[in-house]
Each structure stands twice: as C-alpha cells, then as structure tokens.
Structure 1
Amino acid sequence: MTKIRIKRNSEWNNKARSIGIYIDGKKVGTINDGEAQEYEIDNGNHEIFAKIDWCRSPKMVLNINENEIITLILSGFKFGKFILPVILGIMLMYYLIKYALNFDFPFLIWFIAIGFIYPMYYITFGKNRYLILKEENKNVL
C-alpha cells in the first residue's frame, strides 16, 4: 500500500489551528498540533502542500513507488517556535529592569520590534513559505 505520512511538529505559533493537507490540488484532510496523519495514494508523481488560511508551504513533487511510505515533517516558518517565548521574555526583562531597578534600556524595544516584524514577513510577502514541509531524513545503517 502506498502512503504519505505527515508528522506535524508541536509549536507555539499555530497551536490552536489545524492545517489543511492538499495532494494534487485536492484537500485530503487536516492535521492538528503534534499529530501524525497517513494518506493512501496511487503510485507515481504527486504534488503536495500544506495550507493554513492564506499561507501555505511550497509545493513539493513526490515520486512514489509501489508499497512505499514517505514520511514528511510539517512545521512553521524558521525560528517561528522561538519568537513568542523570546519576545515575551525580553518584554518581561525590560519591564522588570525599567520599573524595579529604575534603569532604562531603550535598545531592548528594538528587539521586541524585530520579533514582531519577522513573522509579519511570513504572513504577507512570504505567505507561500509560511509552512515548511520536508521529507524526513532516512538513516540507513
């Protein structure tokens, strides 16, 4: 049986949202945070991508042989899972230093601004690279 297995990483961003899986232009299902799904398909070439709202992953063409199972890893944009915790940590540090120690570090505001601007690229101009869909590494012993 020929299958495509998709494993979605658990991340802060998009945690509460399910991502649609498209094979050959047709939606075949959705995948939730930290979940794995399998889809049976025919042999041959297939175009696959993932989509969430108006953002998606780049389209990927897979050549699948008889009785082959291909595993793909689905995640958000690069460094996406670190942005929210880091920005919240910097904001907490800024306010503790400013109000507890009465010392001002205005340059910390720039780190917070960059943390908000970086994801904005992926939901506007980089919307077709918001998600990352890549083949799992095959370790052959």
Structure 2
Amino acid sequence: MIKINRSTSYADKIRAYKIILDNECLGEIKRKETREFEVTEGKHTIYLKIDWCKSNKIEFYASSDEVIEFDCGSSISGWRTLLSFIYITFLKNKYLWIKMKNKVIL
C-alpha cells in the first residue's frame, strides 16, 4: 500500500495533481489531502503531473506487508513564486515534487 500526503502550499490551491504510477494515472490528490492506494508487490515508479508540468520520479519496491508514505507539493512557494514563469517553461519537470517519507512494516 502507498500513502500520499499533499502539502498546503498556495500554488495550485484549487487544482488536483494526477498521481502517475508505472505510467498509468492512479488517481488525483487535492490540497491538504491524504490518499491511500493498494499496489501490487514489486518495483514501481511514481510521479505527479499537472497539465504539462511534472515532478521528479521515484522508483520503489512495494511488498504486501508494508505501507510506503510519500509527501508531495508544488515547488512554487515563498520567493520561488517570482520564478513561476521559469518553472512552467524551462523547469517544467521540477514544478512539482514528491519524496518518500518512510516505510512502515505491518
């Protein structure tokens, strides 16, 4: 199982991010939301997408007896708000971020 927590940043406040697992849309996540998904055992790749912008990709191995937790959000916060145009054009694959928080063995 995977668990994904989205941050409370102002950017994309009213928009949902698509959760892409192994090149298939697994679902969407909204601001301040936590989503849980069952995944098959084995190696997977996860990233987020909104319009033409993406996050970094993370490869992980899932087993049936653990919960893998991720945090995610927008890179556009604080002073980076001034760089919004650069993020949606030249840094479009870094507009969003996702990181593995921890693995919990059940």
**Common fold by TM > 0.5:** yes
Corresponding residue number in structure 2 for 1:109 = none
TM normalised by structure 2 equals 0.90
Structure 1 residue runs of 5 or longer lacking an equivalent are 88-114
Matched pairs, number: 103
3-state DSSP of counterpart to 1:136: strand
Identity %: 34
3-state DSSP of counterpart to 2:32: coil
For residues 63-74 of structure 1, what are the structure 2 equivalents within 5 Å? 63-74=61-72
Q: Letter of the 1:21 partner, please give it.
A: I
Give the greater-gyration-radius structure (CA).
Answer: 1
Q: Which ranges of 4 or more aligned residues in structure 1 deviate by more than 6 Å?
A: none
Q: Letter of the 2:59 partner, please give it.
A: V
3-state DSSP of counterpart to 1:12: coil
Q: Equivalents in 2 of 1:45, 1:121: separation in Å? A: 33
- Post-superposition offset of 1:39: 0.8
For residues 44-83 of structure 1, what are the structure 2 equivalents within 5 Å? 44-77=42-75, 80-83=76-79
- Post-superposition offset of 1:121: 1.4
Provide the aligned C-alpha RMSD in A.
1.6
Corresponding residue number in structure 1 for 2:14 = 16
Structure with greater proportional strand content? 2
Q: Equivalents in 2 of 1:82, 1:29: separation in Å? A: 28
3-state DSSP of counterpart to 1:14: coil
Change (3 A) 1:75 1:28: same
Structure with greater proportional helix content? 1
3-state DSSP of counterpart to 2:61: strand
Q: CA offsets, 1:53-89, max 9 Å, x none?
A: 1101011111112211000001111xx22248xx8xx
TM normalised by structure 1 equals 0.68
- Post-superposition offset of 1:137: 5.1
Structure 2 residue runs of 5 or longer lacking an equivalent are none
Q: CA offsets, 1:20-54, max 9 Å, x none?
A: 00111100100010000001001110011100111
